[in-house]
Amino acid sequence: MLKRTVLLPAGVVVLVLFGALIAPPGRNELDLVGYLLPVVGALSLAFRRQAPVAVLAVTAACALGYAAGGYPGVLPAFPLMVALYTAVDAGYRVQALICSSTALFGGLAIDLSQADGGSVREVVQRWALLAGWLVAAKVLGEVTRHRRGYLRQVEQRALDAERTREETARRRASEERLRIARELHDSLTHIISVIKVQAGVAVHLSHKRGEPVPEALLAIQEASTEAMRELRATLEVLRSDDREAGNGLDRLDALVERARSAGLPATVEVSGVRRALPDEVDRTAYRIVQEALTNVARHAGPATAAVCIAFEPEMLTVQVDDDGSARAGIEPEPGVGLTGMRERVVGLGGRLRVGPRPEGGFRVRAELPVGGAS
């Protein structure tokens, strides 16, 4: 931008001086004023973008002064053409018409008043040529301005169309979420509520009879309570159109404790300096541990689980190991749980590795960048 600001005025200075030197002789020879007028007009073009009307006035005054001085040629009026184009392009059409007309007709009147009978035709031809240049500059400025306006309109229409498509997609997604929320509420909420009530009644009757409450029954009661809480949180997310909400690592101990009460021995180890995590990373880490413990309880047989959370400067590592029935060389078939886990991790720009351990059992290891979603 700086090069254009400097190079154009410098080039115009060279052009007008060269045009003045090679022009046919005028009424007066070039003197200091004759050189200064076109140079000042050319140098003022450096500010044509910041003050187009002021520069146009300066170049018109210099062109009119050059004509009034009777100096040779009309090429020194070239700065007026550039300033006229810039002013029209910027939208100052009235000011451009006034300044250019004043310079054109004023210079023509001065030349005609001082010309003898034989040179009138030459004067008219010279100023007619200049008038054609000025008209061409004005037309070019109008074309450029209209073209830029047209491009802005095209871009705006494209943005509006894209915005409309996005709004339509969001509206359809919202409608689908509401439909899913209704289905979940009408089906799962009722079923889980029945399980929770029946488990509560069974526990109450056991207490009333003075009988010990089976641990499995307590686990069912607690799991149904947690399932209701999770379902309510999911329904709130679906209905509120917010980003997925849920649990974070602050509830990790409660999650592991529920696994223990359900009969799965589990330990937790946290290394590194614990700190606040981005919401997406925090929720994903919790869900990975939750899904991994659920898989151990379902598929590993009699086993124990070890949960390791490592806080690193740029990474959060979540690892869940078990000593269950999985054996090396037998790759697991990815179900809905592992697929969802992988989608969460990949969505954050992380890496997930799952598979049997060489010493037996199964390992789930996720490395999550703490910078959030990529």
For Cα atoms 173, 177, 181, give the angle at the middle one, nearest 5 degrees: 170
Higher-pLDDT residue of 359, 12: 359
Higher-pLDDT residue of 98, 111: 98
- HEC secondary structure over 109-160: HHHHHHCCHHHHHHHHHHHHHHHHHHHHHHHHHHHHHHHHHHHHHHHHHHHH
- Cα end-to-end distance, the chain, whole Å: 35
The average pLDDT across 239-255 equals 68
Per-residue pLDDT for 46 more than 80? yes
What pLDDT digit, counting tens, does each position of 293-344 carry?
888 887 777 788 899 999 988 899 999 998 887 777 666 666 667 787 888 8
How far apart are alpha carbons 284 and 345 in whole angstroms?
7
What pLDDT digit, counting tens, does each position of 74-97 carry?
667 788 888 888 888 888 888 888
In contact, 38 and 58? CB cutoff 8 Å:
no
What pLDDT digit, counting tens, does each position of 183-193 carry?
777 677 777 77
CB-based contacts of 319, cutoff 8 Å, min separation 6 = 307, 308, 309, 310, 363, 364, 365, 366
Q: Return the beta strands (E) in the chain as ranges.
A: 266-271, 305-311, 315-322, 351-356, 362-369
Which tokens is 213 given? 């409450």
In the chain, pLDDT over 90 holds for what percent of residues? 3
pLDDT of residue 240: 61
Which sign, positive or negative, has the C-alpha torsion 219, 269, 321, 229?
positive
In contact, 350 and 290? CB cutoff 8 Å:
no
SS3 15: helix
Question: How do strand 266-271 and strand 305-311 relate by DSSP bridges?
Answer: parallel
pLDDT of residue 134: 86
How far apart are alpha carbons 353 and 366 in whole angstroms?
6
The number of beta carbons lying within 10 Å of the beta carbon of residue 10 is 13
To the nearest whole number, what is the mean pLDDT of the chain? 80
pTM exceeding the 0.75 threshold for the entire prediction: no
Per-residue pLDDT for 203 more than 70? yes
SS3 267: strand
In contact, 317 and 366? CB cutoff 8 Å:
yes
Per-residue pLDDT for 53 more than 80? yes
How far apart are alpha carbons 322 and 299 in whole angstroms?
11
**Which DSSP helix (H) or strand (E) runs through 166?**
helix 120-209
pLDDT of residue 243: 46
Q: Which of 118-127, 205-214, 290-299, 342-351 has the lowest mean pLDDT?
A: 118-127
Rounded to the nearest 10 degrees, the angle between the axes of helix 78-89 and helix 2-22 is: 140
How far apart are alpha carbons 311 and 297 in whole angstroms?
26
How far apart are alpha carbons 257 and 94 in whole angstroms?
81
